[in-house]
Amino acid sequence: MMIQKKLQAWRPFFHLLSVSGIPWIWYLADVLFGLVISMLTVCLPQITGAIMQGEIFDKGLIADYAGITLFSMLLSFLSTLFGSWIGFHTDQVLRKTLWNHFLYFPMSVYQACRPSSLISHITQDTSGISYGISSCIGVVVPWLILVSLVTGRFAFRFSAGERQRLALARALVRDPQ
């Protein structure tokens, strides 16, 4: 019972993750991809607002909208492809590390476990770990908060300026002095 409890502790799990050589820098690059895509996504409603206000014949504005849309789509595709590749690479690294770790288990562990259970640890568990890492890294809530904060401040400043100009215009209309 004590051996089983030791095998299921968190400390060996995190130690295995730290020594396995997971490409953390690639996960960071994937987060940066997401940040750039978020920044581009924030630009689109601003350009759309200008187009909806009647500036549809401004060729530069339409070109910016089309360019940002295409660039955002390309980056989204590359980010998805890169994220899939990172997950595949992480699976391979974890499986190799885990397999090397399994080779040094005492024979009593192999006799106590079913073969399907051992294979499951190498195949299913490593896939679950890489999926968990990519899911945690790709959490959009902090990015949504950041993007909402930036766009919210921009929208508040813009609307405050518009309200101030409209109030001044109403004051001039009411009081013609």
Residue spans of the domains in the chain: they are: 2-138, 140-177
Q: C-alpha angle with apex 161: 155 to 163, nearest 5 degrees?
A: 100
Whether the pTM exceeds 0.75: the reply is: no
Given this model, what pLDDT does residue 1 score? 45
Q: Read off the pLDDT of residues 35-75 as tens digits, 9 standing for 90 and up.
A: 788 778 777 887 877 777 777 777 888 888 888 889 888 88
Q: What is the pLDDT of the chain when averaged over all its residues? A: 75
Given this model, what pLDDT does residue 62 score? 82
